[in-house]
Amino acid sequence: MLGRAVAQTIGRNGHTVTVLQRRPSGLDYAEIQGDITDQQVVRSAVKDQQAVIHLAARVSPAGRWRDFADVNIGGTSNLINASQQAGVTRFVYVSSPSVASSGKAHIGESALPADPASTRSYYARSKAEAEQLVLARAGGEMAVTAVRPHLVWGPGDEQLVARVVRRATSGSLRLIGSGAALVDSTYVDNAADALAAALDQAPAIDGQALVISNGEPRPVTELLRGLCDAAGFELPMRCVPTWAAKAGGALVEAVWAAGRLTTDPPMTRFLAEQLSTAHWYDQRLTRELLDWTPTVSIDDGLARLADWYR
């Protein structure tokens, strides 16, 4: 969803866009199909490009470390090496705030350095290592930057919205704790605008990591309620205590790992923490450096989501 929105945004801004996808995108741009773990494909994709925005990642709450490492670290490594060789001058890596999340609450902080050792999931750890890999190239001919959108949602979203809706319809969605933890989120169009802005500002923000969000944190209950409302479901008000969710998450992770299951697990520790502790960020520096502000508020975004579901 975000990749599509970014391609359209920078295309509208007058850039010539090429997309590298595993499956056909259905977009009106030059397209290369393939996997970023394939060096050959990557080299041909970045050939003659001036800038690369890297959004490809394995995103899943569960799975084996190898699978995350191969795509998120190996793939990123392929891409940045190839980009440097091809003379690309701007490289924007789409990261995640979870790369600096050790399970503690984030309360109005700005982006902290990625810390793979303290991350709480394979996804976050692989993204953190990849971010370090990218930012280590700062100071060269190619400007590198990491942009970390927090909880992206919008029409067509397969990560947050679709999961919440699936759970809500199957009756397996639970609120954790009092559901009051304040969380930031990002409407997809705002994230796309911010990435386009990062591309424009790349030389000025070489080597930096920036968190982006709508800058409108909400209690997690209110956010989920809004997403369910937009999709036409009522948010179930069943709650689980935080400790139970974390313990259950740990158990589920063990079972999924032992069984090599690839389906979505009902709960993980990472998810339990994300849903029960505050995660909101200082947007002042981000907005100043990117010369960007979100144009779609949460309320407007929810209205658009509701339209999309209708």
Partner 1 sequence: MARLPPRDLIGLDPAWSNLVSAIDADGVKRTWHVLDSGRESARGTVLCIHGNPNWSYMWRGLAQSLTDWRVIAVDALNMGFSERTGGPRRLADHISDLAAVTRALDIEGPVITIAHDWGGPISMGWAQQNLDQLAGVVLMNTGVARPLAVKVPPLISIARATLRATCKTTPMFLHGALRMARPQLTREVYRGYAAPYRTAALRTGVRDFVEDIPIEQTHESFETLAGVAAGLDKLQDVPALLMWGAKDIIFSDAFLHDLMQRLPHADVHRYPDAGHQIVEDTDAIDLIDTWINDRVSGARVPISTPNGPRTSAPIWSAVELRRNDDAKAIIEMRSKATERVERSISFGQLDERVQSLARGLLVAGIRPGDRLATLVPPGIDLTVLVYACLRAGIIVVAPDAGLGLDGLRRALRSSRPDYVVGDWRGLLLAKSLRLPATRLRLSSLDELAGSGSTVTTPAEPLPDDPAVVVFTSGSTGPSKGVVYTHRQLEAQRDALHGAFGIEPSDKAVVAFAPFAVLAPALGIPSVVPPMDVTKPAKLTAQTIADAATAIEATIVFASPAVLTNIAATSDDLQGPSRSALQSIRAVATAGAPVSPQLLAAIQPVFPNAHFFTPYGMTELMPVTIASANEIGADASDAGVCVGQPLATVDLTIRPITAPSGTFPDPLAAGMLGEVWVRANHLSQGYDHLWRNQSHAFTNDSSVNHKGQAALSAKPTKSGDIPLAASTIGPTRAASWHRSGDVGHLDEFGRLWIEGRVDHLIHAATGVFAPVETELQAESVSGVDHAVAVGVGPIGNQQLAVVVAGESVGSTVVADALVTAAVRAAVSAEIAAVLVTPTIPVDRRHNSKIDRTRVQKWAETVLRGGKPPRL
Separation between Cα atoms, residue 305 and residue 301, nearest integer Å: 6
- Please report whether residue 177 would count as binding partner 1 according to CB under 8 A: yes
29 is catalytic: no
Chain length of the chain: 310
Q: Report whether 296 contacts 189 (CB < 8 A).
A: yes
Which residue of 42, 133, 181, 198 would you call a contact of partner 1, by CB under 8 A? 181
- Please report whether residue 282 would count as binding partner 1 according to CB under 8 A: yes
Q: Which is nearer to partner 1, 34 or 219 (CB)?
A: 219
User: In the chain, how long is the greatest CA-to-CA distance?
Assistant: 54
Kindly name the residue from 122, 123, 187, 281 that is annotated as catalytic: 123
With contacts defined by CB under 8 A, name the span among 16-24, 89-97, 117-125, 211-219 that binds partner 1. Answer: 211-219
What sections of the chain are H helices per DSSP?
2-12, 39-46, 65-68, 76-86, 122-135, 160-170, 188-201, 220-231, 242-258, 269-276, 284-290, 298-309
Tell the smallest beta-carbon distance from residue 271 to partner 1 (Å): 13
Q: Which is nearer to partner 1, 42 or 175 (CB)?
A: 175
Which residue of 59, 69, 251, 278 would you call a contact of partner 1, by CB under 8 A? 278
Radius of gyration in angstroms for the set of CA atoms belonging to the chain, rounded to a whole number: 19
* Residue ranges in 99-118 that form contacts with partner 1 under rule CB under 8 A: 105, 107-109
72, two tokens? 């998120």
Return the active site residues: 123
Chain residues binding partner 1 by CB under 8 A are 105, 107-109, 177-182, 215-219, 221-222, 225, 229, 237, 242, 276-278, 280, 282-284
